[in-house]
Structure 1
Amino acid sequence: MLSEAVWGFSSAAAALRPSPAEIRSRRNTVFSREQERQRALYPRIEKIEVSLKGPGLDGTLLIMNKGMSTPLSCARHLTEYHVNNSALALVDGELWPLHQPLTDSCTLTLLTFNDSDPTLLNEAYWRSCSALLGQVLETAFKDDYTVELLSTPEIPVTSGAFCCDAVLDPQLDSWTPSPKTKYFGVDGIVCSQESLRSLTRGAQQLIHQNLAWEPLEVAPSVALEVFSHSRWKQEEVEQKASDSPKGTVMLYRCGDHVLLSGGPLVARTGLCSQYEVTAMHSLGQGPWGHHRRTQGLSLPLQLQAHHTIWRRLRQRAEKLVRTVNISVLYLTQPADRSLSAFQGLLDGCPDNCLPHVLPAP
């Protein structure tokens, strides 16, 4: 990772604050404590009825355990296909993470990327790819350097790239890798190809580990304790709690990384297939320091892109995604315009390229 290659600076301030590893450990401790507390709310096994919906499943009824069984538990009562391909669920019509316990009798629909309308799942996948990128960035540098992850912008798949905004340690504000290497970014040199490849390798390692994204809905006080060392996350927790009808916020844990999410994530990192970090752009000075936007491109496990198509998609994903413009575009699109299995990424490619993007055999 980048931590092996950069940066011989030191800082007296860094010695006074917990290291990134210590912060991760504290966040995990609080997450696990709250997770155990919530599990203890169901001391006795109570049964619930789960009525399944979907192709070949209508009329199927499962008897599951209240507060313990998850949509993934239900999938395990079906077929290997449902276990391997389900990425998200609808519970009584509401998006539901696959690892989140069911708390009452309900209807359940398991969502896959092969569904006729995968719009909601595609959005969750893009959000998950951003979460994975944030996890990589947070561990990419030596422990002497902090990485402050900012809120992940909600960007549609049709933008061509997912994003993660961050503020790196002030010691890295002037970071400019070797001028002999090709760079990607605006407002100056910000990231070399080798650095991008290093970040990509970090993401691919997490994908290979097939880690679960564990959801945990918590009160703001718990989330504030989790992110007690992040000034930005403290404000984000308060904002999300005020916007939530229940006044709660959703945390996720992937390995030892705990994050705050603005929407549901897919079940596991192994659902990502082709994944590449394509650019790091400077957004200039912001309220929290020097803001940088790292971008990437990915396709889910069930889809494949021919290498020539992937190259075109990657070139597009290198260009800076401008959040405001994309938000306006997204809000003015017709409501019935959906993303069909990431085909929207191929807008602008020649028609004879489209057959190269096919479901994996």
Structure 2
Amino acid sequence: MSVWAPAGRSARYLTPRFLQFTQLIVSPLIRKASSIEAIEKRNHLFSLEKKRQQESVGRIEKIEVRYLGTPKDVTMFMNKDISTPFDCARHLSLNLVQRSALALIDGSIVWDMQRPLTHSCSLELLNFMINDPTKVNTAFWRTCSFALGATAAKAFKNNFEVKLHSFPTPDVRSGSFVYDVELCSLSDWEPSQQDLKVLSGEFIRLTQSDTPIERLSVSRDLAQLMFEDNEHKSRQIPDIAQKNEGQVTLYRAGNHIDISKGPMIGNLNLIGRVTIAAIHKLSGILDDKNLTLHRFQGVALPVGIIINHMAYNILEERAKKMNPAKSPFEPFYSEVDDSQSYNQAIA
């Protein structure tokens, strides 16, 4: 029996004997090409669909946006389905551009900073120092999970195949943000403290970049095409689309794209001090297959929030404990968002 060589190589047959001796050389190359191509394809499709949606706006209409806040209330005329809360902030002050993490529309609707406005409305720009930061902290926690997935996908340098599974609804009472990851061929990996430090360094490098977080709603079919390389995401998409009128919400930061209902904070540089505190193994049966996932757990502070070393150590120790969010092997349940314990921890 023989098999074809990977695409891009000479059209020759590789015998099982040859593959046996070249497995450690060929397999990483195949995985690397596959991973890079999947990321490039996903980003290409994301950009094409974003451009298509922008071009479908047609005749530009003006909407009235009443900004409420410091330094003073202002009424602006912006472009419907084009202008975002971030664009509004740029018309107001550099301070608002740098501090604003989330927007509030008409006093109750939480809105992404990079999401186009669809109607005339009132607008508030939320930061981490407001009197009730619950909505901002929830978006912050969700964004940290998103960035944790990006870190896990990037950190192994394509030497090993990494398949992101999912992350739970933010629950700051748990003490850590989470992402469940399948590390193919590394199911028995037990990370050392040095491994965690290296991963934390990757996370920090990600947050030190000025990287806005884009939001895009796409059809079920397009989402399936974008994530066809990941069976976990592919399996989740139909249920997500069914609950959202056939649409799937995606977020992109740099070249990392993931599925989330959102909202998220406007830029990765709003994440300050951060630690990947622990990685726990989860095992079970999924789709009649034995599977091992690694639960990555971290803790972070928003940029500008400073606490002493001892207090942060307490947060790190808490984040090391196994996060109580149910694993993908257990029946789905809806988790409760709550920022009270997080607020108390940083007070």
TM-score (norm 1): 0.81
Which residue in the other structure is 1:352 paired with? none
2:90 to 72, 76, 85: 76
Which residue does 2:216 correspond to in 1?
216
3-state DSSP of counterpart to 2:208: helix
Q: What's the counterpart of residue 320 of structure 2?
A: 318
Counterparts of 1:264-303 in structure 2, within 5 Å, are 264-287=263-286, 289-303=291-305
Q: CA deviation at 1:345?
A: 3.0
Task: Give the equivalent residue in structure 2 for 1:344.
Answer: 344
Q: For 1:89, what is the secondary structure of its paired residue?
A: strand
Residue 84 (structure 2) pairs with residue 85 (structure 1): no
Q: Taking structure 1 as reference, are residues 159 and 115 closer, same or farther at Cα in structure 2, changes over 3 Å only?
A: same
SS at match of 2:166: coil
Give the number of aligned pairs.
317
| SS of equivalent to 2:40 | helix
> Do 1:157 and 1:345's aligned partners in 2 also have CA atoms closer than 8 Å?
no
**Aligned with residue 78 of structure 2, among 64, 76, 94:** 64
Q: Please report how far the alpha carbon of residue 286 of structure 1 lies from its aligned counterpart in structure 2 after TM superposition.
A: 4.0
C-alpha distance in 2 between matches for 1:135 and 1:26: 16
Q: Secondary structure at the match of 1:278?
A: strand
Tell me the alpha carbon deviations over residues 313-361 of structure 1, each in whole angstroms, 9 at most, x when there is no partner: 1011111011149x99965x9xxx7538x32336xxxxxxxxxx5xxxx
Residue-by-residue CA offset, 1:136-156 (whole Å, 9 max, x unaligned): 100111424211111111131
**2:172 aligned to which of 157, 160, 184:** 157
Correspondence for 1:105: 120
CA shift in 2, pair 1:329/1:234, >3 Å = closer
Q: Which has the higher contact order (CA 8 A, sep 6+)?
A: 1
Kept in 1, the 8 Å contact 2:103–2:110? The answer is yes
Contact 1:114-1:302 within 8 A present in 2 as well: no
Q: Is the 8 A contact 2:178 2:297 kept in 1?
A: yes
TM-score computed with the length of structure 2 as normaliser? 0.84
The 8 Å contact of residues 169 and 335 in structure 2, kept in 1 or not, is answered as: no
* CA distance in 2: counterparts of 1:329 and 1:67, whole angstroms: 31
Give the 5 Å matches for 1:155-304: 155-169=170-184, 171-175=185-189, 190-244=190-244, 246-287=245-286, 289-304=291-306
1:155 & 1:69 partners in 2: Cα distance? 28
RMSD: 2.5
Contact 1:117–1:339 (8 Å) recurs in 2: no
Q: In structure 2, what residue type is equivalent to 1:228?
A: E
Where in structure 2 are the equivalents of 1:347-358 lying within 5 Å? 357=347
Cα separation, partners in 2 of 1:46 and 1:125, compared to 1, 3 Å? same
Identity of aligned residues (%): 35
Q: Is the 8 A contact 2:32 2:158 kept in 1?
A: no
**1:271 and 1:13 mapped to 2: Cα distance?**
35
Shift of 1:55: 5.1
Question: Structure 1 stretches of 5 or more lacking a match?
Answer: 1-7, 176-189, 347-356
CA contact (8 A) 2:31 2:161 kept: no
